[in-house]
Amino acid sequence: MLRNQGPSTDRWGCLLGCWIQEAHKHVLTEDIVHREVTADQKLLSRRLLTKTNRMPRWAERFFPANVAHSVYILEDSIVDPKNRTMTTYTWNINHARLMVVEERCVYCVNPENSNWTEVRRDAWVSSSLFGVSRAIQEFGLARFKSNVTKSTKGFEYVLAKMQGEAPSKTLVETAKEATEKAKETALAATEKAKDLASKAATKKKQQYV
């Protein structure tokens, strides 16, 4: 499990504006498939996203059947304007035998300073495949961390612009910094994952001798 928590400098309304407009890289399609307003004035939504399947090369060799298919992701969300909270829960509904990544984010107004929004982000990465599961989990966690870095930095940039502030860095610098950090994380994870996968493969061979 991974938890990431911290304040982000914006008001509640601006945050939701960003949620609506947030552009995801690698997203091919986005659809609302369910929406309702409850009796107690909460907005429930379900979004279906399709994303490109970006498996690393070493994984393609192990899971050739998964290569061709896009990933389908559902995002369920509850917006509570009275209490100024928003909860989103996101998970993939295919490629599930390979890896499931679930993420829950709770956004609420910081109780000590109403100009600040708090985000609590929990994530679970799991795989049911014997032997390779740790390699997949390491990869999944690293990918998640690098995506969080990128999306948080993108988020902060957009929020700063919406408030009419000059962001402390240009978008290019922000993106570059996030990409560098993400590359480092991904590289370290790839090496570790390759190592784990080859150990698992060796172990599996030995069992059938």
Partner 1 sequence: MNSVGEACTELKREYDQCFNRWFAEKFLKGENAGDPCVQLFKRYQLCVQKAIKEKDIPIEGLEFMGPSKGKAENSS
Output the smallest distance, CB 140 to partner 1, in A.
13
Output the smallest distance, CB 170 to partner 1, in A.
25
Region 39-68 residues binding partner 1, contact defined as CB under 8 A:
41, 43-44, 46, 48, 50
Tokens at 38, concatenated: 């409850």
Amino acid at 150: K
Site map 9..38 versus partner 1, x via CB under 8 A: ----x--xx--x--x---xxxxxxxxx-x-
Site map 126..165 versus partner 1, x via CB under 8 A: ----------------------------------------
The span from the first CA to the last CA of the chain, in angstroms, equals 36
Q: Which is nearer to partner 1, 75 or 177 (CB)?
A: 75
111: helix, coil or strand?
coil
Give the number of other Cβ atoms within 10 Å of residue 203's Cβ.
10
Residue positions counted in the chain: 209
Give 33's contacts (C-beta < 8 A, 6+ positions apart): 46, 47, 48
C-alpha separations of 165 from 9, 24, 153, 162, 192 in Å = 11, 23, 15, 7, 41
Q: Which is nearer to partner 1, 78 or 148 (CB)?
A: 78
The reply on whether position 166 binds partner 1 by CB under 8 A is: no
Q: Total binding residues for partner 1 by CB under 8 A?
A: 39
Instruction: Check residue 32 and report its DSSP letter.
Output: E
Q: Where does this chain bind partner 1 (CB under 8 A)?
A: 1, 3, 13, 16-17, 20, 23, 27-35, 37, 41, 43-44, 46, 48, 50, 72, 74, 76, 78-79, 81-82, 87, 89, 91, 93-94, 102, 104, 122, 124
